[in-house]
Amino acid sequence: MKESAGKILIIVQNLPVPFDRRVWLESKTLTAHGYKVSVISPKSKEYAKSREVIDDIAIYRYRIPFDAEGKLSYVAEFLYAWLATAWLSLRVLLREGFDVIQACNPPDTYFLLGLIYRLFGKVFVFDHHDLSPEMFQAKFSRRHRWLTRMLLALERLTFRTAKIVISTNDSYREVAIRRGGKKPQDVYVVRTGPDMKNLIQRVPDPALRQGRRYLVCYLGEMCPQDGVDYLLRAIHHLSHHYRRQDVFFALIGGGPAVPKLKELCTAMHLDDRVIFTGRLPDNQVCRYLSTADVCVDPDPWSEWADQSTMNKILEYMAFAKPIVAFDLKETRNTAQRAALFAKPNDVAMFSEKVNFLLNSPALRKEMGEFGRKRIIRELSWEYSIANLLAAYNRVFDKQAAPAVQPAVEDKRFIRPAEIELKHATMHV
């Protein structure tokens, strides 16, 4: 049997694997380059097996018996998940073995496992998915400052325990250096670029428009901080202020906020033009995004959202879709001219931008082509591989990773000439 380049255990708590696209891309990439990868994640309805092997990756899962909503229930969930993960890590150690633990947050509590396993010569790597203190404030406001201080302390301990940090963007890298005290050479930016082999553009399916002329799509988790309530209010404004009855909205994804969002949708009398699809398999997501005329990201401004790269933006761009979003730092850095930006948290302006794009087919096409070209040339997962391998070469004290060759441009969807939008002002 061929000896592995190293054995890695990846821990993730907030999404099941392989549903968590980032963790799955990392796992497959590391496996393809000779590492033996195991994963611990929660179960879901779709992924209910306690252990299974997919693409040579051993996945161990535990059941979370309740959905956390309040602060105390979040603490209980984190404690339960930590204990379940610790138990499964022993099973992985005995059955698969590992040299490295890569912990993906939230929460910032798995440094404790890192400290325990350090006694046995294991290395701890922190894959920094979210700014936990800022996310807590986005969910629960600033009233509970002692909890924020506790989260900051846990974050610092996580950074200090990690040999290296893997950040999702430059803003997170700055946090690791400034707030976490990491040396710049110990922080690697690995963006969650879309895997273009799996995101296949399809022939639009008019049936998804439910008899209306246009389809607007939202794709993502639906938690209190994700702004889907802002989107519903924007839909209400679009329907009444602009008197648009020709648009259908598909809200794709799941999450703890869905029941309350459905109640709000009904209260606003929007049930005839909005569908909550729940989580969908990739082929269904591809159908919706291929059919959509406009895609939206309603994340309101918060310190967390402003510094976070939203995966939905990248996936919209991969499907050559024009985007409407609130004007947030990392959203603008990612989308650039593929999006129209509304003033943060301004529902009326958000609906105005959607209305403007629906009335501007040529602009929609230009923006979509710009976004897809940017993904293919700069932001697809292929461009993240070199940094991921460099990070693990550092962990295992190997030579630097080789450069990754640029992706071949997809001529089917991109015009040969550079796209220059004629509209100088893309936001207010």
Are 13 and 37 found together in one domain?
yes
Are 55 and 99 found together in one domain?
yes
Is residue 418 included in any domain, yes or no? no
Q: Residue-wise pLDDT tens for the chain (428 aa)?
A: 567 889 999 999 989 999 999 999 999 999 999 999 999 999 998 899 999 999 999 999 999 887 666 667 777 888 999 999 999 999 999 999 999 999 999 999 999 999 999 999 999 999 999 999 998 888 776 667 788 899 999 999 999 999 999 999 999 999 999 999 999 999 999 999 999 988 889 999 999 999 999 999 999 999 999 999 999 999 999 999 999 999 999 999 999 899 999 999 999 999 999 999 999 988 999 999 999 999 999 999 999 999 999 999 999 999 999 999 999 999 999 999 999 999 999 999 999 999 999 999 999 999 999 999 999 999 999 999 999 999 999 999 875 443 343 343 443 333 323 333 333 333 32
Instruction: Please give the tally of structural domains in the chain.
Output: 2
Is residue 417 included in any domain, yes or no? no
Strand partners, 219: 252
Residue 71 has a pLDDT of 65
Is residue 415 included in any domain, yes or no? no
Longest dimension (CA), the chain: 67
Contact in structure between 167 and 189 (CB atoms under 8 Å) = yes
12-49 burial code (b ≥16 CB/10 A, e <16): bbbbbbbbbbbbbbbbbbbbeeebbbbbbbbebeebee
Is residue 384 included in any domain, yes or no? yes
Is residue 416 included in any domain, yes or no? no
Are 31 and 154 found together in one domain?
yes
Are 370 and 385 found together in one domain?
no
Interatomic CA distance for residues 64 and 74, integer angstroms = 12
Are 277 and 189 found together in one domain?
no
> Can the peptide bond before residue 204 be classed as cis, meaning omega within 30 degrees of 0?
no
What are the DSSP calls for 100-169, one per residue? EEEEEPSSTTTHHHHHHHHTTT-EEEEEE---HHHHHHHHHTTS-HHHHHHHHHHHHHHHHH-SEEEESS
Under the phi-then-psi rule, with left for phi > 0, alpha for psi from -120 to 50, and beta for the rest, what region is 52? beta
Are 18 and 32 found together in one domain?
yes
Are 344 and 231 found together in one domain?
yes
Residue 141 has a pLDDT of 65
Is residue 400 included in any domain, yes or no? no
Query: 337 is in which domain, residue-wise?
Result: 206-375
Which of 303, 304, 1 has its CA nearest to residue 129? Answer: 304
Helix (H, G, I), strand (E, B) or coil at 319: coil
Interatomic CA distance for residues 67 and 47, integer angstroms = 17
Residue 139 has a pLDDT of 79
Structure tokens that stand for 93 in this block: 């150690």
Which residues, 6 or more positions from 13, have their beta carbon under 8 angstroms from its beta carbon?
41, 42, 78, 81, 85, 104, 106, 107
Are 184 and 49 found together in one domain?
yes
Q: What is the CATH number of the domain that holds 97?
A: 3.40.50.2000
Is residue 63 included in any domain, yes or no? yes
Are 70 and 130 found together in one domain?
yes
Which of 322, 97, 291 has its CA nearest to residue 203? Answer: 291
Polymer length in residues for the chain:
428
Is residue 325 included in any domain, yes or no? yes
Structure tokens that stand for 192 in this block: 């969650």
Interatomic CA distance for residues 30 and 39, integer angstroms = 12
Residue 405 has a pLDDT of 38
Are 371 and 384 found together in one domain?
no
Interatomic CA distance for residues 360 and 214, integer angstroms = 12
Are 340 and 311 found together in one domain?
yes
Q: Which class for 410: exposed (0-12), middle (13-18), buried (19 or more C-beta within 10 A)?
A: middle
Are 221 and 356 found together in one domain?
yes
Any idea which residue has 């989308």 for tokens? 335
Residue 332 has a pLDDT of 98
